Structures are given as C-alpha cells and as structure tokens.
Amino acid sequence: MSENKVCIIGAGPAGLSAARALSRLGIEYDQYERHSDVGGIWDLENPGTPMYESAHFISSRGTSGFFDFPMPATYPDYPSNRQILAYTRSFAQAYGLRERIRFNAVVRDVQELNGRWQVTLADGTVAVYAAVICATGVTWAPRLPTFPGVFDGEVRHSVTYRDASEFRGKRVLIVGLGNSGADIACDAAANADAAFVSVRRGYHLIPKHLFGIPVDELAHTGPQLPMRLERPVFKALLRLVQGDLTRYGLPEPDHKLFESHPLLNSQLVHYLQHGDVSIKADIAGLDGTRVRFVDGSSEEIDLVLCATGYDWTMPYLPQDCFRWTDGRPDLYLTAFSRQHHNLFGLGYLETNSSAYTLFDHVSNLVAQYLDDQQHDPARAAAFDTIRATDRPDLSGGISFVDSARHRSYVDAKTFHRYLKKVRRRVGWDDLTEGMFGPVPARPMVDAR
C-alpha cells in the first residue's frame, strides 16, 4: 500500500464527490461502502435509509447536482428519489468510480496510529492510511422522542416509513413538520382514515414553484436583493399566493422568513384547505387509544409517526477525534478537522441549496490540500494556519433560529463566495475554471 493512500468511508453523494476530486489529482485511495451499491440514502434498498416511496428532491434539478455533471434535461423540476439514485449512479459510472469501491465493507473502527489512521473492517481487515475522509452522512441515527403515558397504538420514527399504503384504515398522527414530516403528512392525508400533524412552532411554508418557476431557481436568477429587501418582498409574495396560513391551524412563526431551514411543499396547503389533514398542538401525553395535546384537545390515534430528525454520528470514530458541540463536529469549512491535518468530514452541513455542488467545491479543497501535503508543504502549512484559527460567518447575514441544527447552517451563496476567497488566499485553483474538463458520456441507470 502507498504510504500516502487515503481512505474514503461511504459511497453516497459526498463520498463519490470526494473520490472524483482525489482521482483528478492522482491521489491514491480506497473507498469502503457498507451497502451493496452506491447511492447512500437515495437507495430504498439500503438498510436504515430514511427514504420513502414518495420522496423527491427539495431543491430543483437546475440548481442541484454535481459540478460539471448536470441532471438530465428530461428530469422533472423536482426529481424523484429513484431518479436521483439513477443520476448518482450514472455519475459514479461516468467517472469510473465504482471500480474503486469495496462494497459490503463495514468500517468498524478508526484509530490514530503514529500520526496516521488505522482502519479496521467488520471482517477483521486492517489497513493504515495517510488520511481518512468520513462521508457516511447525517441521517442514519433517528431521534425518537418519548411521551408520558401508555399508548395502545403504535409509535415509531419516520425512518421506518416507506409507503403510503401503511396508512390505510388508520388514524395517523405525524409529529414534526420539517420537509419529510410535511411530505409524509400529505401521504397520510391522501390515504389514512384521518390525518393530523403535531407541531411545536410555526413555519414559513414555501411552495416549490412561484410564477411557474422552481422557487430556488427564481432565487438564483431573479433580482439579487439585499436581505432587508428580499425578505419583505418574498414574504409579501407568499402572502399573496397562500393567504393567511394560521386560518388552517398553523401557528404564526416565531422567527423571520429564511431564519430556519426552508420548508418547501406545495401539497400541504391543498390538503389543509380540503380538511384532509389537521394541525394539532404539541403532545402532552398518551392515554390508551388517544393522544392528548397541550391545548387540552385529544384525538383517537392508531399510529404516531415521529418525523423528529436524526443525530449526527460517526460510530467508527472516537468522539475526541473531532470537537463536538451540541451534537455537531467543529469542522472548518464544514470539512476540515481543526486538530488533525489528515482527518475530514464531508457532507456534515445544513444548507438552503445545492448540497451536491457544495460537496464538490469542498472536495476540491480537501484534495488540493492533501496533494499539497506531498508536493507543496509550504502552501499546505499556509492553509494549516487558516484552518486552525479562521471562523468565518457563513450565515449570509441571516440570524438563524437558535438550535443545534441551525448553528451548523451555511448559506449556499455566502459559502461559495468564501470558498473562492480561501482559494485565492492560499493559491489554489478555482473549481469554476473547468477543472473536470468535458462532461463525460453518461450511461443512465433505469430510474423507473
């Protein structure tokens, strides 16, 4: 084994992005994937995936996708989970990444060893690497709340949900109104005997299209206004299109527009307007066949499905390898360990747009940094100084909701601008200058 070989853990979108960036610079690597194929959470056959049959991308085709590898023009504005999986697999195939991946390989343990990293697989295989890139994602450890009382029905996390047929003949309560909660609530509205959503707080509900244009494309291509103007203009547009959502039972948001992860859904208002789903308050407790709410009301419920999020974990890595705060690792530019020059976490971020493109930009920096460690130590040392002390504000001037999730949030436009600034400061190539060359032919995988 080459003494400079890198280990990539995971072959979802972030892991594939890292593999392409290393390949471009000729950096040797091994890549391990515990599942039997690439795709990460988008593969419904991947054990533990949070994906469900009706899931679609919440960012549009035109603003999403890997850098220099656009989604097919034949895809709809918001591709389905199967189309995203096919696209991701075609990316791996087009760049020859599949041949380098060891599938059905579970990484059990990663330990520092004399400044390098010893990686142990579940089958007992042990290898030592110059660097490790953790790209195993943030939606594999479901967070299931507990409720006081005894319940005769079923309580489970949304990670177990796959298909709307599970709701037929049942009275269903969805807990939580993030993007997955809203999607699943719509499935319940169309299939359950009765559907309810329990919420703790109000949300700004954003339709997926405005004026027939995907809303994120409109944000990218429309007039670029300062936040003090953009917020009231967009809020007025939402009010004009949707009216007052509190009349459907949704609480008034306790935060300004854009200060939390966007809730994009065009169907929920339809179902609220037709009475197919109802908004309920926070749960006070369970009582036999009924669920009691803090406003004193109660409902007969068969299934409580908790769309209550996930904890970020890297179970193969000792906790002290990254500094963790509020369940989030302290990573410079969302990827670089501040303690170790050869440990990275890719995909550990919350953003409001174009995650795949961000993965590519960050992967490029990681690859250039690793290459410089071997071929330009002075430039790598210059970046080390920045990595240790620089704490940029990547919020885009938005005062996000004070929560663990939003403390790791980055505004995509701000992040892209700052990455360019870092590249110029260190002397690295700009990703936007065609670093990957012509788009290769893409043998698309069947997405039906």
**Residue at 444 is within a domain:** no
| Token pair in block for residue 259 | 């200060």
In a domain? residue 433: no
Q: Which one-letter DSSP state was computed for residue 71?
A: P
Of 306, 340, 357, which residue constitutes the final position of a domain? Answer: 306
Residues 260, 163 share a domain: yes
- Cα dihedral across residues 201, 347, 311, 49: positive or negative: positive
Token pair of 8 as six digits = 């990539």
The phi, psi pair for 90, rounded to 5°, reads -65, -35
Mind listing the pLDDT tens digit for each residue in 227-277?
777 788 888 888 888 889 999 999 999 888 878 777 899 999 999 999 999
Any residues with CB less than 8 A from the CB of 354 and at least 6 apart, and which? 59, 63, 64, 216, 412
Mark whether 182 and 282 lie in a shared domain: yes
For residue 204, the domain's CATH number is 3.50.50.60
Identify whether residues 353 and 211 lie together within a single domain.
no
Q: How much is the pLDDT for 185?
A: 98
Say yes or no: 224 and 296 in one domain. Answer: yes
Same domain, 68 and 85: yes
Q: How would residue 429 be classed by pLDDT, with cut points 50, 70 and 90? A: confident
- Burial letters 41-69, b for 16+ CB under 10 A, else e: bbbbebeebbbbebbbbbbbbbbbbbbbb
Instruction: Give me the number of domains the chain comprises.
Output: 2
Spell out the residues 6+ positions from residue 441 whose beta carbon is closer than 8 angstroms to its own.
94
72 — pLDDT class (breaks 50, 70, 90): very high
pLDDT digits (tens, 9 = 90+) for 123-134: 999 999 999 999
How many angstroms separate the CA atoms of 104 and 101, rounded? 10
The pair of structure tokens assigned to 16 is 């594939």
Q: Residue 438 falls within a domain, yes or no?
A: no
For residue 365, give every residue at least 6 positions away whose Cβ sits within 8 Å of its Cβ, in sequence order, or none: 333, 335, 419, 422, 423, 428
- 116 and 11 in one domain? yes
- Give the residue from 31, 52, 50, 32 showing the smallest Cα distance to 41: 50
Query: Is the domain of 278 the same as that of 399?
Result: no
User: pLDDT band for position 368 (50/70/90)?
Assistant: very high
Confidence label for 159 from pLDDT (cuts 50, 70 and 90): very high
Q: What is the pLDDT of residues 378-405, one digit of tens each?
A: 999 999 999 989 999 888 777 777 777 7
Burial classification of residue 289, based on how many CB atoms lie within 10 Å of its CB (0-12 exposed, 13-18 middle, 19 or more buried): middle
Judgement on whether residues 279 and 151 belong to the same structural domain of the protein: yes
Domain presence at residue 435: no
Single-letter amino acid code for the residue at 271:
Y
Same structural domain for residues 156 and 136?
Answer: no
Among candidate residues 306, 333, 353, the one where a domain is terminated: 306
- Residues 179, 182: Cα–Cα separation, whole Å: 5
Domain that includes residue 112, residue range: 6-141+311-426
Whether 239 and 205 share a structural domain: yes
336, pLDDT greater than 80: yes
Residue that terminates a domain, selected from 306, 324, 357? 306
Q: Is residue 431 part of a domain?
A: no
Task: Check residue 448 and give its pLDDT.
Answer: 46
Do 162 and 205 have their domain in common?
Answer: yes
CA–CA gap between residue 329 and residue 136 (Å, rounded)? 14
Say if 445 falls within a structural domain.
no
From first CA to last CA, the distance across the chain in angstroms is 41
Q: Which helix (H) or strand (E) holds 379?
A: helix 377-389
Give the separation between CA 200 and CA 211, rounded to whole angstroms: 31
Does 446 fall in a domain?
A: no
Strand order in the sheet with 290-293: 149-151, 283-288, 290-293, 298-300
Instruction: For residues 304 and 272, give the distance between their C-alpha atoms in angstroms, rounded to a whole number.
Output: 19
Helix and strand totals (H; E) in the chain = 10, 29
The mean predicted confidence, pLDDT, of the chain is 91
Higher-scoring residue by pLDDT: 398, 24: 24
Do both 136 and 227 map to the same domain?
Answer: no
Domain presence at residue 268: yes
Q: How far is it, in rounded angstroms, from Cα 308 to Cα 176?
A: 6
Cα-trace Rg, the chain: 23
Angle (nearest 5°) at CA 421 between 57 and 11: 35
